[in-house]
């Protein structure tokens, strides 16, 4: 198990399979709130489900409504278990906090080089720690 340190944004603990996206994600218009699938045309993760995964992406983008879409996904059981960002911004941070999704950013490694789709990842939002089980 490899451990990395980052900044805690939203508290909690989650363990699950990684979904890694090098593209930013807009939850409003880019994710289907009824299915938890990335629907943005041309997105590198188009067609993939975020439900129950550890979602790794650089940052969010788009409307502030995205925070509430993330909350809606959580209420329906379709949200990611945890989130790791290069640098979180208010849309994703607020969405994670109100949804109870652990979120860590500013990890002390190039997260896209050390974690791949399918890796088992732990997000410890209480302590700002990310662990990867290869």
Residues marked as catalytic: 63
132 CB neighbour count, 10 Å cutoff: 19
In the three-class reduction of DSSP (H, G, I as helix; E, B as strand; rest coil), residue 111 is classed as helix
124 is written with which tokens?
A: 């410890």
**Rama region for 7: left / alpha / beta (φ>0; ψ in -120 to 50; rest):** beta
């Amino acid at each position: 198990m490899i451990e990395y340190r980052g900044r805690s944004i939203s508290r909690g603990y989650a363990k699950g399979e990684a979904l890694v996206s090098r593209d930013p994600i807009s939850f409003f218009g880019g994710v289907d709130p009824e299915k938890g699938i990335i629907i943005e045309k041309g997105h590198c993760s188009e067609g993939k489900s975020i439900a129950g995964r550890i979602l790794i992406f650089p940052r969010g983008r788009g409307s502030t409504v995205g925070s509430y879409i993330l909350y809606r996904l959580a209420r329906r059981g379709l949200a990611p278990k945890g989130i790791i960002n290069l640098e979180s911004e208010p849309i994703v941070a607020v969405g994670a906090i109100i949804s109870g999704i652990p979120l860590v950013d500013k990890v002390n490694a190039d997260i896209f080089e050390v974690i791949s789709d399918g890796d088992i990842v732990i997000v410890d939002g209480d302590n700002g720690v990310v662990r990867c089980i290869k």
